[in-house]
Chain A
Amino acid sequence: QVQMKETGPGLVQTTQTLSVTCTVSGFSLTSYGVHWVRQAPGKGLEWMGIIWGDGSTNYNSALKSRLSISRDTSKSQVFLTMNSLQTDDTAVYYCAGDNYYSGGYYVMDAWGQGASVTVSS
Chain B
Amino acid sequence: DIQMTQSPPSLSASLGDKVTITCQTSQNINKYIAWYQQKPGKAPRLLIGFTSRLVSGIPSRFSGSGSGRDYSFSISNVESEDIASYYCLQYDNSPNTFGAGTKLELK
Contacts from A to B (Cβ < 8 Å): 35, 37, 44-47, 49-50, 58-61, 94, 96, 100, 102-105, 107-109, 111-114
Contacts and interface: CB of A to CB of B under 8 A. Distances in A.
Contacts of A94: 43-44
Nearest to A50: B94
Interface stretch (B10-18, B19-27, B49-57, B65-73): B49-57
Contact of B46 (A37, A50, A100, A104): A100
Given A45-B38, A103-B31, 9 more contacts: A35-B96, A44-B100, A47-B95, A47-B96, A50-B94, A60-B1, A108-B91, A109-B55, A111-B44
A60 B3 CA distance: 12
Interface of B: 1, 31-32, 34, 36, 38, 43-46, 49-51, 53, 55, 85, 87, 89, 91-92, 94-101
B105 to A, nearest CB: 15
Contacts of B49: 100, 102-103, 107, 109
Given A100-B55, A108-B46, A111-B44, A58 B89 contact: no
Contacts of B97: 47
Contacts of B55: 100, 109
Contacts of B45: 111
B101 A45 contact: yes
B46 A47 contact: no
